A = this chain, B = another copy of it.
Amino acid sequence: MIFSVIRKDKNTNARKGKLVLAHGEVDTPCFMPVGTQGAVKTITPEELKSLGAQIILSNTYHLGLRPGIEIIEKAGGLHAFMHWDGPILTDSGGYQVFSLADLRNISKEGVTFRDHIEGTLHTLTPEKSIRIQQALGADIIMAFDECPPYPSEYDYTCKSLDLTLQWALQSRESHTDGPQILFGIVQGSIFPDLRRKSVEELEGIGFAGYGIGGLSVGEPKSLMFEIAEYTAGLLPSEKPRYLMGTGTPDDLITQIAFGVDMFDCTVPTRYGRNGTVFTPYGKMVVRNARYRDDHRPIDEECGCYACRHYTRAYIRHLFNTGEILGNRLGTLHNLHFYLKLMKGARQAIAEGEYEKFKKEFLNNYSGSEFQ
């Protein structure tokens, strides 16, 4: 059993579960810190572990360009290369090809594109994406997909979905069964019938888990929640559900109630690195001048390394003077916040109190800046 649901919440669709992967176990719902280029920006694997991270995400597209797959293969795979011995999930490259590269041509076979760094021409196909991900050696790999932008016309989304389903089948066929497991990706933009079609056809092919893709690409938040809830509800309950690339703390807490098990997002690392930190009361732009003479920690209640030892005034000073230690402290604080939040959510589900937990969190948390 790769995935087991340990406890289902009474009043919501939230569930607590466990993934048993090649490089270790992961308690769900989980948040996966993003290590796009084979490093979670600014921090070490040891720090990730001490923060409670059980799984991280990395990117086929970026690693394929730099340093190149053959280098990582020679290093003994991504785990050895980056000195992280826990579970890794790699994205297929589909999302990045469509969001970062200059597209040249999409065909049934795959995508030809110019990369965003050197402008060199590349081809990525489902077979190639799977082969690369197998070479990287991640615990969970993703099917190759097209992620339509928002908004997309119904007709375009239909055609795109057919291609993605064809690529899902080819991805599945290219995948060698082994300790590495393959997830399919549900697309269909904001169209419920296409989301349903996507889920049904992917289930027909059969995957170890399912990603919900194509959300958090510019649509209103209410629409994102609607589609995420609808799609999560269609997915088989015995398989892990991974909502891709989203989001803020309130997004996570809301969407755990839909039955989502896995999240990844660059928000905590990117925000933290740039001087915006999360608290139970909302986000705080600690790099702002208003904190220059504020000698309290970011959050009095927080037990992270940054809050135990440093003040807002000091952290603001680090950002103000371009000191990299500031980027580190912001990142550590935010990842601590996210991972502790997930732990709290799991505990609330285990105690049958997720609805209360969610309500309390969302009542305290303000989307605007906390001072």
Is A222 positioned at the interface, with any CB of B under 8 Å from its CB?
no
| With A67-B317, A314-B75: A42-B324 Cβ-Cβ less than 8 Å | yes
Interface string of A16-44 (1 = CB under 8 A from B): 00000000000000000000011101111
Contact of A314 with B82 at beta-carbon distance under 8 Å, contacts A74-B293, A75-B295, A325-B42 already known:
yes
Distance in Å: Cβ of A316 to nearest Cβ of chain B: 8
Residues of B within 8 A of A311 (CB): 75, 81
The complex is assembled from copies of this chain, and their number is: 2
Verify if A176 is at the interface (C-beta below 8 Å from B). no
Q: Does A8 contact B (CB under 8 A)?
A: no
Contact among B39, B293, B324, B325 for A71, CB-based, below 8 A? B293
Taken together as a complex, chains A and B put the C-alpha atoms of A61 and B293 apart, in Å, by 19
Taken together as a complex, chains A and B put the C-alpha atoms of A295 and B82 apart, in Å, by: 12
Given the known A-B contacts A67-B292, A313-B75, are A325 and B39 also in contact in the complex, defined by CB atoms under 8 Å? Answer: yes
The verdict on A328 contacting chain B, using a C-beta distance below 8 Å, is yes
**A74 x B317 contact (CB < 8 A):** no
**A108 adjacent to chain B (CB < 8 Å):** no
Which residues on the B side are within 8 Å of A42 (C-beta)? 324-325, 328
User: Is B41 a contact of A81 with CB atoms below 8 Å?
Assistant: no
Is the beta-carbon distance between A318 and B39 smaller than 8 angstroms? yes
Q: Which 8 A-B pairs have the closest CB atoms?
A: A67-B317, A42-B324, A83-B309, A37-B321, A39-B325, A39-B323, A66-B321, A81-B314
